[in-house]
Structure 1
Amino acid sequence: MITFNCEVSQNEFLAEGVGEVHAVITVTARDEAAAGADATGPNATDPNATMTARGVFARPRGDAGRPAGAAVPGDAPGAAEVIILDCSGSMEYPQSKIIEARRAARAAIDALPDGVAFAVVEGTEQARVVYPERRVLVTATAQTRAEAGRAVARLRPHGGTSMGRWLRLTAQLMASRPDAIHHAILLTDGQNGESAKALEAALAACEGAFQCDCRGVGDDWRVDELRQISTRLLGTVSLLREPAQMADDFRALIAKALARGVADVALRVWTPKGSTTRFLRQVSPEVDDLMPRAVEVNPFTRDHPTGAWAAGTREYHLCVDVPPADVGDERLAARVSLVVGGEVVTQARVRAVWTEDAELSTRIDGVVAHYSGQAELARAVQDGLAARRAGDEDSAVTLLGQAARIAAAADDGAMLDRLGKVIEIDDPVTGSVRLRRDVEKLDEMDLDAGSTLTVPAKR
């Protein structure tokens, strides 16, 4: 049973005439059964509940009468998994790609416990259900896992690449189990052969139907293309340098997907009349802009889907513009709620207090500053690599140097290692760098794919 709480990090003090409010919302999902904890807390939807100083509510979804920490029978939905394998002609070169792709698919199938609904899709210029033979999900048993493994073993590379069709078929399959938590793995080694318009239409049709983690093997696929898919479908994108990495990666993705026991989670932001949300983005464990997925609840409230959750922590940076007020005034700048299945389960408040004390109004909250830098780092890496590819070396040096400086300040060793394969870092503190002349394409792609990963703020 999962319970949630959220906390706000901000400097609520503003100078006279200022209306820009920043806050980081930290949302923690806790598996009380696993932790053996005896959590208690007010019901977020109870009109008699009181807000704590840290804005903490915690209550399992689906039963308004139960205290936080109580188990809710039948509350956890089932799981549905679709494995999408690129079987285009390029998967034959080298042959190890299709061999390891088949092995990875079998590993993922074998990792599915009894009762999970699943299917396997062959992706070429068409989309075909490899297993089962009908366009529905089948329940995992010893027999169906064995049958699916034999079907996967018969896959052979041929044809082209139409990812939009693969995704549309996956959405159709997921519709056969509407109450499950839907997740897909998409593996490819190449670029989409459809028009950008066709892919966008497919993503619009699939958005909200399932989450999708994308994996690219080799160096012929496009990071921005898979990032477009994974961002719209609330997943991740990652580079697999060698085909032999596929099986372990697929097992890890299945384990992570099956750990998600809470579906249909959204971050709800209310702002008062006259205020506007400038941006809302996830900043940990990776950067993700939530604004394009906003759904209007009423003129003052928007829901931002975040997908299914397991135990863990995610953090969000909110920026709100409020009408400036007089010195001494205090206002509620925003109310942020976590909504599960349409029901509020935890809530926090973002405040604005106007002061003439410059020491208070100029103080920068450390958590907000850290994650502002992490978002800037992601942009600098992506823009710097784009400038490098375009031959604009001056801009590339400036942007990638900025990325190195931010990574060093955040003590992000993994990012510095990735950057060091693309640039010579003379002084990370000042951002003094030089472009390398002999950069492997895989190293550039790895840096691009990992640009949105962040390190937690130190508290």
Structure 2
Amino acid sequence: MAEFRTEVFQNEFLSDGATDVHAIVTVTAAGAGPAGAAQGGVAEIVIIDTSGSMEGANLAAAKHAAQVAIDQIPDGTFFAVIGGSHVAQRVFPLPNWAVAMVPMDDRARSDAKQAISGIRSSGGTAMSTWLRLADIIFATVPQATQRHAVLLTDGKNESEARTELSRAVRDLTGHFQCDARGVGEHWEVDELREISTALLGTVDLIADPADIAEDFRRIVQTSMARGVASAELRVWAPQGAQVLFVRQVAPTVEDLTTRRTEVNALTGAYATGSWGDESRDYHVAVRVASKPVGSEQLAARVQVAVGGEVLTSGLVKARWTDDDALSARISPEVAHYTGQAELASVIQEGLAAKAAGDEATATVKLGRAVQLAAETGNEEATSRLRRVVEIDDEEKGTVRLKRNAAKLDEMALDTASTKTTRVRR
């Protein structure tokens, strides 16, 4: 079984009357092994947009990428391929086969590639049907406890109401994980982000169809290297306390607060998906009742549980003091990730304002983003921002919107907004 360990970074000293406790909890997994090593079977589905807009280079590259992805799937892994337009259909196993998923072997690999080569493009785009078919197919292999899909599209979800996609995402949350990718500039970042956020995956832009194959190869390799099918972060807080939020802050910003399920009256569990050998950072904020100066209290206990078994635990503490020198200290880790979370938010808000024609708000938000990127040392974000705004003063966040900013540059900034830099320790 994989080994997990936790480290807690905080300033536990609170001023007289203070109530809010913040901590960064680093969780590290080691010895996770390959997917399915301990939990049981593994299932992988490749979902390709086959709508009319994919005709030409995009579809050719997507078919090649799907074939490359299949080469990364180990023998014995259940797999299937879905083609999606305004309806979804099973490409492999062939629709007339009696089974919806087959274990990977040389014969299946060859047959799947042949089926993929025959894909043709037509129709519109209704992503809810793609996801629901994936769920139906996954359900045919209940022994597969680790379920992952990769979805590729080049267009907007235009053949159904957005509410249909949102309803599907809500219905399928917790059933499988899904990484979503958009190729070109005619898809909506918010749509794919909604899918990937709820289904514990990632979202990204593939600007050039020629890069799809490498991206698919990397996604499937990562999925196959995650030997822990599902882990949850558990947060205990004392009677009368309130968990303000639980947020993953590295390697990406993801708000886990609404994923809470009750373990008991004082403990909530937050799904984190599958794990390989990696580290992730979480920002936990708890509000407790103020206590007299000199008092100490356990503000939270943060645990990692796999299959209901707690594997590691970290303590978040509170100590009240009248020494301003102690209470005024800001944990470098908390400060860094607070800035990173705000950076993601103001980038998305700024781009949304720009798209809506509100240049004043866009300038203010993206100016703040430039300032935060500089403060937190996020050079990648600064580089992407420079393609969208002219920076007059990084420190003050003084910027001007570029009149000729490319749509792909704006989308690249948007999709990368949640990627963070690790705090230097």
2:403 maps to amino acid: R
Contact 2:32 2:276 (C-alpha < 8 Å) held by counterparts: no
What corresponds to 2:247 in structure 1? 281
Tell me which residue corresponds to 1:4. 4
Identity across the alignment (%) = 48
Matching of residues 191-270 of structure 1 within 5 Å:
191-192=156-157, 193-270=159-236
Question: Partner of 1:180: helix, strand, or coil?
Answer: strand
- Residue 79 (structure 2) pairs with residue 110 (structure 1): no
Q: What does the per-residue CA deviation read over 1:39-93, in whole Å, with 9 as the maximum and x for residues that have no partner?
A: xxxxxxxxxxxxxxxxxxxxxxxxxxxxxxxxxx96243321100000001101x
Pairwise CA RMSD of aligned residues?
1.4
How far residue 21 of structure 1 moved from its aligned partner, in angstroms, is 0.4
Partner residue in 1 for 2:44: 81
How many aligned residue pairs are there?
A: 419
C-alpha distance in 1, partners of 2:90/2:359? 46
Q: Read off the aligned partner of 1:259 and give its amino acid letter.
A: A
1:364 and 2:327 aligned: no
2:349 to 370, 383, 389: 383
The Cα shift of 1:385 comes to 0.7
Given that 1:295 and 1:302 are in contact with CA atoms closer than 8 Å, whether structure 2 keeps it comes out as yes
What is aligned with 1:99?
Answer: 60
Q: 9-18 or 427-436: which moved more?
A: 427-436
CA distance in 2, matches of 1:369, 1:410: 9
Counterparts of 1:111 and 1:326, CA distance in 2: 59
Query: How far apart are the structure 2 equivalents of 1:74 and 1:131?
Result: 25
Structure 1 residues 328-367: Cα deviation after superposition (integer angstroms, max 9, x where no partner): 1111111111010111111111111101111111100000
1:124 maps to 85
Aligned equivalent of 1:148: 112
Amino acid at match of 2:51: S
Residue 137 (structure 1) aligns with: 101
SS of the residue 1:11 aligns to: coil
- Deviation of residue 197 (structure 1)? 2.1
Amino acid across the alignment from 2:341: A
Cα offset, 1:301, TM superposition: 1.2
In the TM superposition, residue 33 of structure 1 has moved relative to its aligned partner by 7.8
- 1:317 shift after superposition: 0.3
Deviations 1:169-200 (A, max 9, x none): 11111122233311100000111122122112
CA contact (8 A) 2:389 2:402 kept: yes
Shift of 1:136: 2.1
Which residue pairs with 2:386 in the alignment? Answer: 420
Distance 1:89 1:138, change over 3 A: same
* Aligned equivalents of 1:312, 1:25: Cα separation in 2: 14
> Contact 1:212–1:230 (CA<8 Å) still a contact in 2?
yes
AA aligned opposite 1:174: F
- Cα distance, 1:208 vs. partner? 0.8
| 2:30 equivalent in structure 1 | 30
Q: Deviations over 1:180-230 (max 9, x none)?
A: 311100000111122122112211221111110000001110000100000
**1:74 and 1:398, CA in 2 relative to 1: closer, same or farther beyond 3 A?**
closer
Which residue pairs with 2:19 in the alignment?
19
Partners of 1:280 and 1:318 within 8 A in 2: yes
Q: Is 1:9–1:23's contact at 8 Å kept on the other side of the alignment? A: yes
The corresponding residue for 2:149 is 184
Residue type matched to 2:91 in 1?
Answer: V
Q: C-alpha deviations, 1:394-437, integer Å up to 9, x for none?
A: 21111111111111122211111110000011221221211100
Paired with 2:168 and 2:33, the residues of 1 have a C-alpha distance of: 39
Contact 1:27 1:315 in 2 (8 A): yes
1:43 alignment counterpart: none
Structure 2 distance, partners of 1:32, 1:225, is 32
2:403 aligns with: 437
Of residues 409-418 and 321-330 in structure 1, the stretch that sits farther from structure 2 once superposed is: 409-418
C-alpha contact (below 8 Å) 2:79/2:102 kept by paired residues:
yes
CA distance in 2, matches of 1:256, 1:78: 16
Distance 1:110 1:32 in 2: 22
| 2:299 partner amino acid | A
Which blocks of at least 5 consecutive residues in structure 2 are unaligned?
Answer: none
> Contact between 2:234 and 2:270, CA under 8 Å: does it hold in 1?
yes
Is the 1:77–1:261 contact (alpha carbons within 8 Å) kept by the matching residues of 2? no
Instruction: Report the counterpart of residue 61 of structure 1 in structure 2.
Output: none
Deviates more, 1:389-398 or 1:246-255: 389-398
* SS of residue matched to 2:204: strand
2:370 to 361, 383, 404: 404
2 CA distance for matches of 1:434 and 1:198? 38
Contact 2:37 2:227 in 1 (8 A): no
CA distance in 1, matches of 2:2, 2:220: 19
How far apart are 1:299 and its partner, in Å?
Answer: 2.0
Contact 1:77-1:262 at 8 Å conserved across structures: no
Task: Check whether the contact 2:73–2:220 (CA below 8 A) recurs between aligned residues.
Answer: yes
Q: Distance in 1 between matches of 2:133 and 2:291?
A: 53
Following superposition, the deviation at residue 165 of structure 1 comes to: 0.9
Equivalent residue for 2:127, pick from 145, 163, 184:
163
